[in-house]
Each structure stands twice: as C-alpha cells, then as structure tokens.
C-alpha cells in the first residue's frame, strides 16, 4: 500500500524544529552519529545540541557552526550552507518567515510581452513552471518580482520565494531549499522529513492542494531545480537562471534580452525624473547605446546621475565613451556590470574562458564555429559545442542559426580578461593568424567570380576555405564580410601587403554584385595603400580606380570619386596602362554627371576611345552608357536614345553575370530617354521591360528609380492609381537604400496625386 506523502512517518524529526535544526539532524544522522557522539567530537554540549535540533536555539554563532562542521567532516560547501541557515535563524529571531522576499521597483519598465506570457501560463492549466533565463544584468529577478506583484490575484494562497545562489561557489542543494520552502509554506518544522525523497513528496503534496506562486531565484542547473518543481496541477513555479535549464521537462522557457531603445530611454527618465532629462534626449539616447540596453547598466547609470545632482547626462556620456574605461564607469555602490559578468566567467572551464577571451579579437560583429576555431586551435565541431555552452551561460548570443555574437559590454569584459590573462605577444599572434585565415578564405571565395586574366591562387598554402560553388562562396563572403574587411587593417599593419593586394584583386569581380557594400571602400583603400607600400604603381592605379568606383557607384560620393579617379589617371599615364586610363576617365565621367554634363560627355568619349584601343568591350559599354546619360542631360535626348538602343543591340562582354546587369542598365536608360522626350506610352512600355539582375544585390535604389520613372509616365497617361502604387513602392525602396532625399521627393509626388 502506497502512503500519501502527508502520511510518511515523522518519528525521526524532532518537534519544534527550525530549518537549521532539521538540517543539523539530517547531517548528524547521515554521519551515523548520536547526540553524544557529536557532542564529544565538537565540544558542544548534548543539551545545546538538543536545543539546536529542536529549534529552541535558532541561530548559533559562527564558532559553534565551525565546531559542528569539523565534527561532521563537512566540506566547504556544506559548511557554508549550514552557516547560511544559522545566519538566517539569527536574523529572523522569531517565528519562521518566508526565506527570501523579492523587492519590486517603482520604476519598472518594459517586459510587457514577457509578463503577458507569464500571465497566460500562470492562469492556464497545462504548464506549471516557467524559466526566465538570460545573461547577467538583464533584470530577471526584477521581472520575477513584478510578476509576483501582478499575478497576486491569481494565487489566493500567496507566494513564496527562495534564493538558490546558483551563481555562488556553493549553490543551495534542493534538499535544503525544500526545508526553506516548506517552512515558508507554513509546514511545521517538526513535520519536515529528514529523508530528502520524503521531503520532496511532502512539498509537492503541499503545492498540489494550494494555489501558490513559488519563485526559485538564481537556479544553478537542472539538478538543483528539478526537485522543486510542482506536479501538473495546483501551484505555479517561476524560475530565474542564467541558463535555459534545457534538461527540465514540462517548463516554458522565456529568454530575456536587452530592452528596446525606447524602453531604455524611458527607464532612465523614470529613474532620474523629468527635471534631469528634459531637453537631454540626445544624451539619454547615447547613454542607452553605451549601456548596450542592458537593464543593470542602465540602472547603474541612472543611480550614478541621481547621486550627483550637478552632473548632466552629457557629462556621463563623455566618461563612458572610452571603451577601455567604460566598465569601470558602470559601477554604482555594490552594482557593477563587471562583477555580474565575472560571476559567469569564473564558472567556466579554462578552455571555455580561453574561447570567450579570444572572441574579443574578432573584427566583425559575429562568427561561426569555423572562424572561432581559428582563435583557439580547436576543431570546428568542438568549438561549436563550446559556443553553444557560452550561449547557455548567457555570455554569448546566437544571432542566427550557427552565428554567435558578444554583447558590446561582454566584448569589453572579454578584452579586459584577454589583456590581463594572456601575453600581448600571444594575442597578436592569434589575431594575425585569424586575419591570415580570413583573407585566404576571402580570396578563395572571390576566385569563383573571376573573369579571364584574374590573379593566380594565393601562393604558399592551401586556402582554409574552399567553396564548391559560387553560391557557397557568395554566402561565405556575405556572412563574413565584416570579419574579412576587418582583417585588412590588421594584415596591412603587419606589413602583409602582398596578401592584402591579392585579396583585393580576387574580389574585384565579385564586388560588382553588391556594389553598395561599404566594405568595398575598406578593401580598395587598403589595396591602394598596400600597392603603394610595395611600389607597384600600376596596381595602385587599378586599386584607386576601384576605390573611385566604390565611392561613386556604391556611396554616391562623387567628389571623392573624381579625386581618386584623377589620381589613378596620373599613375596609369605614368606607367603607360591605357586600360586603367580608360577606367579612370569613365569614373571621372560618372562623377561629372548631374552638374557638368559637357565635361561628363568629354570624359566618357575619351574612355570609349581608350577601351576600343585595348579591346575592352565591357568597359566600352559602360563608358558609352554614361556618354548617353550625359547627352540626355545636355538636352540631346534623341542622340542618347539612339546610342543606348545601339548599345542594347550590340553589347556583350566576357564577365559572367555582367551582361545581364548591363542590359538592365541600358533598358533603364532607354526608358529615361523616352521620358525626357515626353513619349509617355513608349516610356511606360520601356520601363516595364526592366528586370533586376539576380546576380546583383543592393539594387533597391535602382528599382526605386525605375518605379519612379514608370509612375511619371503613367501619370501623364492618366493612370493615376497605378502611378500611386509604384510611387509607394519606390518610397519604401529609397528608404531601405538610405536615400532620404529621393524618399522625400517621392513622398511629395505621392501627396500631389491626392
């Protein structure tokens, strides 16, 4: 016959006990000692021991606890836990009370989605436990306290909380937590079983017969948490932890990230009050960014300003702007971001600490296992497991499947630990090894898009990344672009100019597929500087031309593009390179468009003649298209139309994917020519033939310009509704491309249509 937990015999438990007394008796019996044995070994009288176990003496002094711990041969963790119960008994000094109270804050901000989810879970009938998890400093305990306040009406039997000390060196064992919980739930201490299994059964039976909200704050792991979860009915348990506790069954996990920008600003304003924040919106926004929207950091900033009435938010911005001292500035009394992160760091194994430290060397925002493995020398599979563990510990974020990033403040912390725990020479060696790996991989990927005449593979070693297809190469170059671009200044500073130049050359043809990437300005700038460093004037001319293209086509910075192209022209003339002279004139022509059409036409004509001389049909098509645009801007739209139509019929090149791109550009120019000639129906038909080349990206602005031209032609044809639809799409594309001026013009055109 199976007994109900409440019927478990309690003959071994002394009446009138306390949490300390129950634990002391449990430890004594585990050690197989009588009261007399323990008295003899510890020097504490039998009577005093009896009073302690029966609860007549609630909180012995430390020397007594030390004597008992020595007699019982407790390890350091057990000794600390026994002392903790003794301290709690002295602090209470009266009848048992809840072991841990969560404190709400009056300026609580945000987390409405999480609170709504907790409300639904707590009032439902299926899930009886939830885990709030996330990195240190995200406000898990504060959210739990707010949840207790808001959910109090759903739990008529009240709430109890227990601090599990999961981030300490000695987390509270489940058996001891059960003593605290049962005491808080009003269970007579003399009826708490000594046997942990029986104790757990009594706890679950107690919760099943009540509607109580139990908060387990700062759980270490599944072992310390599982015995404290309820059965499938009755009460609800809310767990906070830095880990997701993935091994727990039947719980809902809610991850906490940073606050939104608006929530962060609101929190600071609530802490400081309106008089301190009125007119300071720019400084408040900057403070939230420097805090990485981490609630703990925001609280520290707010408290620091509150304690210094003469300080303005702008003054604290200037203090925190320096990355090297930012963590030292994020301290207010006993609150410190560095301390919160150190708790998690100190619990890592040495290999995991090494990985976290070296992730601070990454030049980009995120990484995959392959690149991270280069930092430690481990294989990618082992590194992937380690990255996942760092995510579980709240020190890393998985931004996308297989991609991992450090929070800004964690990156600063990791960099501090790297500087403090590894020699500078080792860090430099690792960083250069990583940069070498990135540029070799980028060169290997870039070769998948090269035209005839491209440079040979990187000499001396096999590329660490060898893509099997252009699609795989493009995915790698896109995903890792902030990292390989960030490796360029590292390799340049190390004098690795040949490698920098080789990377720039092998990515030349690929760059045309994503013309608006800002990384191209970085690539070709370091390419030009490396070419100059090795004294290769022809290569420098080529790199400067590429840089002119990146500024003009990629960023619409036409003044800088013209200056760079003219410098490239000087070098190309010096070394007698007619091909680079042609490209220089072509970029000069493009830079002159819009304000100096006559100069643009003259430069384009020079480029065309030079391209013909060297037999570069693709370059000739580009320069003639620009010549046509210059003719149209000069009021010679008929000539431009004839030229563009001829080019469309005859253009061809040797570069894979470029023909389709040039065709799309030419169709766009033909439509623009017809628009300038006010041949509205023909312009509509021409715009409808334009398609976006699949082999090119970042073409939002190109599509928006086509839609705007089509809308203009449709408006003149009386098709106002369709014109408005296209303008609306164009507005969104201009915004996405960052072209605010064109977006504003398009918005005005939409309003004009009514």
Q: pLDDT tens for residues 97-128?
A: 444 567 888 899 999 999 999 998 888 777 78
H or E segment and range at residue 130: strand 129-133
CB 192 within 8 A of CB 213: no
Report which of 740, 705, 696, 744 is spatially closest to residue 726, judged by C-alpha positions: 705
Q: Rounded CA gap, 675 and 706, in Å?
A: 11
Q: pLDDT tens for residues 496-508?
A: 999 999 999 999 9
Residue 291 neighbours by CB under 8 Å, 6+ apart: 264, 297, 298, 301, 320, 330, 409
Token representation of residue 254: 């809610």
In eight-state DSSP terms, residue 100 is: B
Question: Strand 252-255 vs strand 129-133: parallel, antiparallel, or unpaired?
Answer: parallel
Cα distances (Å, whole numbers) of residue 155 to 152, 603, 694: 5, 80, 58
Report which of 294, 250, 483 is spatially closest to residue 397, judged by C-alpha positions: 294
- Answer yes or no: is pLDDT of 490 > 90: yes
Q: pLDDT tens for residues 587-643?
A: 999 999 878 999 999 999 999 999 999 998 888 888 888 999 999 998 999 999 999
Using a pLDDT cut of 90, give the percent of the chain over it.
Answer: 56
Q: What is the pLDDT of residue 458?
A: 66
Report which of 625, 662, 664, 660 is spatially closest to residue 641, judged by C-alpha positions: 625
Report which of 140, 144, 161 is spatially closest to residue 214, judged by C-alpha positions: 161
Average pLDDT over every residue of 54-78: 80
Question: How many residues are listed for the chain in this entry?
Answer: 754
Q: What is the pLDDT of residue 195?
A: 83
Q: pLDDT tens for residues 695-735?
A: 566 678 888 989 999 999 999 999 999 999 999 999 998 88
Tokens 């499938």 -> residue = 232
Q: Rounded CA gap, 499 and 443, in Å?
A: 9
Q: What is the pLDDT of residue 457?
A: 65
Q: Rounded CA gap, 411 and 359, in Å?
A: 8
Tokens 């139990």 -> residue = 214
Q: pLDDT tens for residues 681-694?
A: 999 999 998 877 65
Q: What is the pLDDT of residue 275?
A: 83
Token representation of residue 128: 């009886």
Q: What is the pLDDT of residue 334?
A: 85
Higher-confidence residue: 555 or 602? 602
Tokens 């003959």 -> residue = 11
Q: pLDDT tens for residues 139-155?
A: 999 999 999 999 988 88
Token representation of residue 44: 């504490």
Q: What is the pLDDT of residue 459?
A: 64
Average pLDDT over every residue of 661-681: 89
Q: Where are the alpha helices (DSSP H) in 615-657?
A: 617-633, 637-650
The backbone torsions φ and ψ at residue 365, rounded to the nearest 5 degrees and listed phi first, read: -80, -35
- Answer yes or no: is pLDDT of 93 > 60: no
Q: Rounded CA gap, 608 and 635, in Å?
A: 21
CB 402 within 8 A of CB 368: yes
DSSP characters over 544-607: HHHHHHIIIIIT--HHHHHHHHHHHHHHHHHHT-HHHHHHHHHHHHHHHTTT-HHHHHHHHHHH
Token representation of residue 178: 């059960």
Residue 626 neighbours by CB under 8 Å, 6+ apart: 586, 589, 590, 593, 600, 604, 607
CB 504 within 8 A of CB 546: yes
- Answer yes or no: is pLDDT of 211 > 50: yes
Token representation of residue 452: 């005839």
Angle of the 537-549 helix axis to the 497-506 helix axis, nearest 10: 50
Token representation of residue 175: 């058996």
Q: What is the pLDDT of residue 452?
A: 58
Tokens 């080019």 -> residue = 647
Q: What is the pLDDT of residue 253?
A: 93
* The dihedral sign for the CA sequence 137, 141, 144, 146: negative
Beta strands in 196-235 (DSSP E): 213-217
Q: pLDDT tens for residues 418-453?
A: 999 999 999 999 999 999 999 999 999 998 887 656
Q: Rounded CA gap, 619 and 694, in Å?
A: 21
Q: What is the pLDDT of residue 55?
A: 67
Q: Rounded CA gap, 121 and 132, in Å?
A: 13
Determine the distance from the C-alpha atom of residue 556 to the mean position of all C-alpha atoms in its chain, rounded to a whole number. 30
Question: What's the first-to-final CA gap in the chain, in angstroms?
Answer: 83
**Mean pLDDT computed over every residue of the chain:** 87
Q: Rounded CA gap, 204 and 230, in Å?
A: 6
Average pLDDT over every residue of 344-353: 94
Q: Kindly report which listed range (76-80, 245-249, 443-447, 469-473) carries the lowest average pLDDT score.
A: 76-80
Count the Cβ atoms, other than its own, within 10 Å of residue 604. Answer: 27
DSSP characters over 312-352: -HHHHHHHHT-HHHHHHHSEETTEEHHHHHHHHHHTS-HHH
Q: What is the pLDDT of residue 10?
A: 27
Coil, helix or strand for 216?
strand
In eight-state DSSP terms, residue 291 is: T
Q: Rounded CA gap, 112 and 114, in Å?
A: 5
């Amino acid at each position: 016959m199976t007994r109900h937990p409440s019927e478990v015999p309690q003959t071994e438990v002394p009446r009138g006990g306390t949490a300390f007394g129950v634990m002391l008796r449990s430890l004594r019996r585990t050690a197989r000692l009588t009261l007399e044995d323990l008295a003899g070994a510890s020097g504490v009288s039998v009577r005093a021991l009896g009073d302690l176990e029966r609860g007549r003496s609630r909180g012995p002094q430390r020397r007594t606890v030390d004597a008992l711990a020595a007699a019982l041969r407790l390890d350091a963790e057990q000794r600390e836990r026994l002392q903790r119960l003794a301290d709690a008994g002295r602090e209470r000094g009266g009848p048992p009370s809840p072991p841990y109270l969560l404190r709400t804050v009056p300026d609580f901000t945000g987390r409405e989605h999480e609170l709504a989810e907790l409300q639904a879970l707590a009032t439902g009938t299926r899930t009886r436990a939830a885990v709030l998890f996330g990195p240190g400093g995200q406000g898990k305990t504060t959210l739990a306290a707010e949840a207790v306040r808001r959910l109090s009406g759903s739990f008529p039997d009240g709430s109890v909380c227990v601090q599990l000390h999961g981030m300490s060196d000695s987390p509270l064992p489940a058996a001891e937590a059960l003593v605290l919980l049962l005491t808080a739930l009003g269970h007579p201490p003399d009826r708490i079983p000594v046997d942990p299994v029986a104790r757990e059964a009594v706890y679950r039976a107690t919760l099943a017969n009540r509607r109580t909200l139990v908060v387990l704050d700062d759980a270490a792991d599944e072992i310390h948490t599982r015995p404290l979860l309820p059965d499938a009915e009755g009460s609800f348990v809310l767990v906070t932890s830095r880990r997701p506790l993935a091994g727990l069954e039947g719980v809902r996990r809610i991850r906490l990230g940073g606050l939104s920008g608006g929530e962060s600003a609101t929190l600071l304003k609530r802490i400081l009050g309106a008089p301190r924040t009125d007119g300071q919106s720019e400084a408040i926004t900057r403070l939230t960014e420097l805090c990485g929207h981490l609630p703990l950091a925001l609280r520290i900033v707010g408290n620091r300003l509150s304690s210094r009435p003469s300080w303005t938010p702008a003054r604290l911005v200037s203090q925190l702007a320096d990355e090297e001292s930012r963590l030292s500035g994020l301290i207010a009394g006993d609150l410190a971001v560095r301390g919160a992160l150190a708790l998690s760091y100190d619990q890592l194994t040495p290999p995991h600490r090494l990985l976290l430290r070296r992730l601070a060397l990454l030049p980009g925002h995120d990484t995959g296992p392959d690149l991270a493995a280069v930092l430690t020398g481990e294989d990618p599979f082992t590194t992937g497991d380690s990255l996942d563990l760092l995510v579980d510990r709240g020190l890393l974020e998985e931004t996308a499947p297989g991609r991992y990033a450090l929070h800004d403040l964690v990156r600063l912390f990791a960099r501090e630990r790297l500087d403090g725990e590894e020699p500078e020479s080792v860090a430099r060696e690792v960083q250069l090894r990583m940069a070498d790996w990135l540029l070799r991989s980028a060169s290997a990927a870039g070769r998948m898009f090269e035209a005839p005449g491209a440079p040979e593979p990187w000499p001396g070693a096999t590329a660490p990344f060898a893509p099997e297809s252009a699609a795989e190469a493009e995915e790698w170059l896109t995903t890792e672009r902030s990292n390989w671009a960030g490796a360029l200044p590292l390799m340049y500073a190390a004098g690795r100019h040949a490698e920098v130049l080789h990377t720039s050359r092998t990515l030349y043809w690929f760059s045309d597929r994503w013309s608006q990437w800002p990384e191209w300005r970085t690539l070709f700038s370091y390419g030009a500087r490396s070419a100059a460093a090795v004294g290769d004037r022809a290569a420098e001319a080529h790199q400067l031309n590429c840089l002119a293209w990146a500024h003009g086509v990629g960023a619409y910075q036409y003044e800088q593009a013209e200056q760079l192209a003219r410098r490239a022209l000087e070098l190309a003339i010096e070394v007698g390179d007619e091909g680079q002279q042609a490209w220089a004139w072509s970029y000069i022509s493009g830079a002159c468009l819009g304000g100096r059409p006559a100069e643009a036409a003259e430069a384009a004509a020079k480029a065309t003649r030079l391209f013909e001389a060297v037999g570069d049909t693709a370059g000739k098509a580009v320069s003639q298209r620009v010549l046509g645009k210059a003719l149209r801007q000069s009021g010679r739209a008929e000539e431009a139309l004839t030229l563009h139509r001829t080019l469309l019929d005859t253009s061809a090149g040797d570069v894979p994917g470029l023909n389709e791109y040039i065709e799309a550009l030419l169709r766009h120019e033909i439509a623009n020519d017809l628009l300038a000639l006010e041949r509205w129906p023909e312009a509509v038909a021409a715009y409808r033939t334009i398609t976006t080349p699949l082999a090119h990206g970042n073409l939002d602005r190109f599509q928006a310009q086509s839609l705007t031209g089509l809308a203009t032609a449709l408006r003149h044809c009386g098709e106002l509704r369709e014109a408005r639809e296209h303008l609306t799409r164009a507005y969104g594309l201009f915004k996405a491309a960052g072209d605010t001026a064109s977006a504003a013009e398009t918005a005005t055109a939409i309003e004009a249509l009514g």
